Amino acid sequence: MFSIKIVRISINIGILFLTIAAMEAFSWAIHKYLFHGPLWFIHKTHHQPKHSWFELNDIFSLLFAMIALWLMWLGHFNLDYRFWAGTGISLYGIIYFIFHDWFIHSRLKSFKSNNRYLCGIRRAHKIHHKSMEKENAEEFGLLLASKKWFRRQSA
């Protein structure tokens, strides 16, 4: 009985982390091919100067939150894979908020960091926003970026 619980817990934790990793890959793909493609008319609000705290692009985050909550609701009766996948999507959303909205775009009072990884992610995202157009953008990931952005900057 004890070993079955350990296996279930391990599987659930695996589903959780696999979902977070899958969300990074999925987010990269939809960002590159949909947000900078047919859904640019919504996503472009994120590349334009801010006029309010909410931007039309935030609708994508709300959509992912609804999907996560729906999965969690479907799986909460037995705490099956749907619950853990929904929880993984939610955790990715929290990570997204902390990294993207708070740290990179300073939607809240931003925290400072000299951490090489955080500085590299911030640099890569700033490069992404250099392009105010649908085409010619680069660096579409949230947690992963090209090695060149992680090199130490000369003082």
Q: Is 130 helix (H, G, I), strand (E, B) or coil?
A: helix
Range of the domain at 37: 2-115
Number of neighbouring beta carbons within 10 Å of residue 129: 13
The mean per-residue pLDDT over the stretch 22-43 comes to 89
- Domain presence at residue 28: yes
Residue 68 lies in a domain: yes
Report in angstroms the alpha-carbon separations of 71 from 77, 82, 84, 90, 122.
11, 5, 8, 10, 31
Residue 107 lies in a domain: yes
Residue 59 lies in a domain: yes
Alpha helices in 31-115 (DSSP H): 40-47, 59-75, 81-96
Residue type, 91: L
When divided into structural domains, the chain yields a total of 1
Spatial neighbors of 149 by CB under 8 A, at least 6 apart, are: 120, 121, 123, 124, 127, 139
Its sign, for the CA torsion 89, 143, 24, 56, is positive
With respect to residue 43, please indicate whether it lies within any of the assigned structural domains: yes
Quickly state the pLDDT bin for 155 (edges 50, 70, 90).
very low
Residue 133 domain-assigned? no
Residue 154: pLDDT above 80?
no
Q: Which tens digit of pLDDT belongs to each residue from 106-145?
A: 666 766 777 777 777 777 777 777 766 666 666 677 677 7
Span 92-103, average pLDDT: 84
Q: Is residue 131 part of a domain?
A: no
Distances (CA, A) of 123 to 27, 59, 105, 116, 144: 19, 25, 12, 10, 12
Q: How do residues 40-89 score in pLDDT, each as one tens digit?
A: 888 888 777 776 778 888 899 999 999 999 999 999 999 999 999 999 99
